[in-house]
Structure 1
Amino acid sequence: MSQNKMAISVKGLRKSYKNVPVLAGVDIDITAGSIFALLGSNGAGKTTVVKILTTLLKPDSGKVTVNGFDVEMSPEMVRQSISLTGQSAAVDEILTGRENLIMIAKLRHLRSPTLVADLLLKRLGLTDAANRRASTYSGGMLRKLDIAMSLVGKSQIIFLDEPTTGLDPEARIEVWKIIKELADKGTTVFLTTQYLDEAEQLADRIAILHKGQIIVNGTLAELKKLFPPTKVEYIEKQPTLEDIFLSIIA
């Protein structure tokens, strides 16, 4: 993992909707090859951050660079180096699962798109449904197909906006394994999640977005130091990330 190169840099990011501030001066630096988790309650602005970082939404002010490119000045260069799995599945439901993946592989100009598709279908446990139209998939299967589509090619930065929502425990663990493998191979992963155990398991650094600002940003060990000292009852209990999160935003 690179200790120097910044994959993502956000300085003074602001965004309002109809004069209602959603982001009120967000600052984030994310090292290349790391897993970064952004936590926050519903409506905290997590998805707005992701949309700005992936060039889907323009910021009101602030400087945002992704893979060294300014999101406003060089959006095409940003898009070439990222993949995104949003909260809503970006799947063509008329096509089969395999056809969706082959289409993305062709758009990314990969060799052997069918082989790429079949490997990802196997990895996400979708081989049996590969030739069925995506319109026949359950919500969890659509989610897995959507994640598989974001893994086509070797994007330097992958954005996963609540990626395991709707997945069963076995599928969640498989996605966790994939995320860890990506980071081990040098991919930067930007993750938003409402599952605090997910951030606890995966993230190198965790930030909490609250009322439009990052109120804490650090490793899990650093966040644990912000929690009040452990009370000794029958046993000494270490605080979970959920305990820390609720304590910080209270």
Structure 2
Amino acid sequence: MKLKDKVAIVTGAGSGMGKAIAVLYAKEGAKVIASDINRENVQAVVDEIKAAGGQASAVVANVAKEADIENMVDVALKEYGTVDILVNNAGIMDNFVPAANVTDELWERVMSINTTGVMRAIRKVLPIFQEKQSGVIINNASIGGLYGSRAGAAYTASKHAVIGLTKNIAFQYAEFGIRCNAIAPGGVETNIGSTINNPDPFGMKKAMSGAEFNPKNGKPEEIATIALFLGSRDSDFVNGVVITADGGWTAY
């Protein structure tokens, strides 16, 4: 088992990539704090893990709320005594709204979930990792954080920020035995599309202009294997890296 007795927090674990990561981590021996805004979904994931003989606890959390993030990490400490791995997976789309049409409300909502929540979770675990002189942070970014038009202005900016934060933390905290990497998925079959409501026609047309070049959509389980690699000793010398996982879409 690659993660035997490790304690891992996974946000957005109620479905999609977060669920796949939580299930795989537990299968590989981790004690998982599965966090999600949807109580029913995340409890179902925990029940599935336990039925398969794994260890997991459900925490309902809205990553846009600092108190929820504080509680999420505190539960991990109470239940399992420490934290070894943090997977920041939770995120939302932005209706493909271009810069000319983006509202402060939309901008702040996307940033609070996709970027500020990531920063706060990292901020909360860093003292734990520094004391242990070890720890792994994995941020689920997007090819939208590497290129200019895979979504609207807010989502694109939020994921670029996550990648910048990833590299900053990787370098500045490497001396403490802390690693921070990111995954940049392309098209993956998840329910993040459910966060899209009345997409902006202009923005969506621009963002989808390269969709015809996408060879295939991935499965959440395919992203989970990358998260396993980054969370395990197999990637001990990998730090500050963004792994693109898009089936070759952005290679054209």
TM-score range, shorter chain: 0.3 to 0.5
Larger strand proportion, structure 1 or 2?
Answer: 1
| Larger relative contact order, structure 1 or 2 (CA cutoff 8 Å, min sep 6) | 1
TM-score norm. by structure 1 comes to 0.34
The TM-score, its normalising length taken from structure 2, stands at 0.33
Q: Which of the pair is proportionally richer in helix?
A: 2
Larger Rg: 1
